Amino acid sequence: MRLLVCILSILLFTIHVNAQTYADSIALFRKKYVEELMAEKRQPVKPSQIKYLDFYPADRSYCVWAAFTETPGSVPFLVQTHSGKQKPFREYGVLNFGLKGEHLTLHIYQSVDLIKDAEHKDDLFIMYNDMTNYETTFAGGRYIDLSIKDIRDGMIVLDFNKSYNPYCAYTDGFSCPIPPRENNLHVEIKAGEKMFQH
């Protein structure tokens, strides 16, 4: 009996430590995110407005493995932005994953302009809408950054807790890509950054 209690205690402790470690990692991610916002020369968010940034609590159930399928020979296309301008992207691949009992698909892109930049040539970009738009999250969708280096054996970790707002969620004057219709998720993604409350 004592052995069973001991084993259960160890398991519960391990679960607690893992949960804490994950929550801490998301807290660190968000700290760096805010620091980068503050360092942005165009100042989408001013220091006095930081208190209005809002996030869902870290929820590990929104961190999932996704199957990656590359899209070879994809042709660049223009994505509409909130300013009315267009930006060139190419589809790099498609992600298939399960979330909250639903099978979902997201298309993953590369900026045509950044491919030419050695520092950013491996950057991958997801822009998506979900059923929280207009309610608790920015109406114009949210983004997730990934890297080609994150792909391992046809799989990649997709963490919606790292979803963030485009600069257009904070102020006017930016050309933020609008998620293509193919990346409209008909579920609620209650993770990541919420609507700017200022």
Domain annotation covers residue 144: yes
What are the CA-CA distances from residue 83 to residues 127, 140, 144, 148, 184 (Å)?
16, 12, 20, 29, 20
Tell me the one-letter amino acid at 137: T
pLDDT at 115 (0 to 100): 87
Contact 64, 162 (CB under 8 A): no
CA–CA gap between residue 73 and residue 113 (Å, rounded): 17
Helices (H), 40-177: 112-115
Q: Length of the chain in residues, anyone?
A: 198
What are the CA-CA distances from residue 187 to residues 61, 132, 181 (Å)?
14, 8, 14
77: containing domain: 2-183
Contact 130, 189 (CB under 8 A): yes
- For 65-78, letters b (16+ CB in 10 Å) and e give ebebeeeeeeeeee
Specify the residue for token string 């520092």.
119
Helices (H), the chain: 2-39, 112-115
Comparing 7 with 68, which gets the higher pLDDT? 68
Confidence bin at 94 (pLDDT 50/70/90): very high
Domain annotation covers residue 125: yes
Query: Residue 62: how many CB atoms within 10 A of its CB?
Result: 19
Domain annotation covers residue 188: no
For the chain, how many structural domains are there in total?
A: 1
The model's pTM is 0.88
Closest by CA to 89, choosing from 25, 14, 174, 178, is: 178
Domain annotation covers residue 151: yes
Domain annotation covers residue 108: yes
Domain annotation covers residue 195: no
Whole-number mean pLDDT of the chain?
A: 90
Domain annotation covers residue 196: no
CA–CA gap between residue 196 and residue 35 (Å, rounded): 17
pLDDT at 119 (0 to 100): 87
pLDDT at 10 over 80: no
Q: Across-strand partners of 81?
A: 177
Average pLDDT over residues 12-25: 64
